[in-house]
């Protein structure tokens, strides 16, 4: 990623939209993360008729060999940080330099959904990719979608570890 930043201009703060945000953007990001978490779970349950207890049990078995703290660090902190820096910082920002906002938003959201490679949740991932790109664009910072993403993943983590 650092090589791409250097290739695209070199200034990490400008390239990745690493700017501080105002308090109201922070609060909006938290609100978006919470609301989206509920919508996401409702959509997946309604459309795909998932069994929550089976889903929780499957996740717990898949992560049983890992210490809960390492799963927390990787899924709640590292994944959102990397994904937001890459998709909303690097990809979205680079596309904005050459294309209009709508194209940049759609392409970055599509790539975000595709990288997760989860067919049942593709629509939900694409939708949140659109939301995160709009947050980055409107706030002019990757910190806003990063906070929303962290909140969403945090809620998901606590939902699954019950």
Query: Could you give the 3-state DSSP secondary structure of residue 22?
Result: coil
Find out whether 63 and 74 touch, Cβ atoms under 8 Å. Answer: no
pLDDT of residue 162: 66
Rg, Å, the chain Cα set? 16
Find out whether 112 and 125 touch, Cβ atoms under 8 Å. Answer: yes
* Angstrom distance (rounded) from CA 158 to CA 93: 32
pLDDT of residue 161: 78
Residue 63 clears pLDDT 70, i.e. is over it: no
> Higher confidence at residue 135 or residue 15?
135
Residue 54 clears pLDDT 90, i.e. is over it: no
| Residue range 105-131, pLDDT digits in tens | 999 999 999 998 777 788 889 999 999
User: What is the residue-wise DSSP string for 87-150?
Assistant: IIIIIHHHHHHHS-HHHHHHHHHHHHHHHHT-GGGHHHHHHHHHHHHHHHHHHTSTHHHHHHHH
Residue 147 clears pLDDT 90, i.e. is over it: yes
């Amino acid at each position: 990623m650092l090589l791409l930043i250097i290739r695209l201009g070199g200034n990490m703060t400008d390239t990745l939209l690493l700017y501080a945000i105002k308090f109201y953007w922070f609060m909006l990001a938290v609100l978006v993360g919470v609301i989206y978490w509920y919508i996401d779970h409702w959509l997946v349950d309604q459309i795909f008729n998932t069994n929550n207890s089976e889903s929780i049990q499957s996740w717990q078995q898949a992560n049983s060999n890992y210490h809960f703290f390492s799963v927390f660090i990787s899924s709640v902190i590292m994944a959102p940080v990397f994904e937001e820096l890459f998709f909303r910082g690097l990809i979205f920002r680079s596309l904005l330099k050459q294309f209009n906002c709508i194209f940049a938003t759609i392409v970055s959201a599509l790539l975000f959904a595709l990288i997760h490679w989860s067919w049942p949740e593709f629509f939900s991932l694409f939708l949140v990719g659109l939301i995160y790109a709009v947050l980055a664009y409107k706030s002019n910072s990757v910190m806003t979608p990063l906070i929303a993403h962290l909140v969403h993943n945090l809620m998901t983590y606590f939902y699954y570890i019950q």
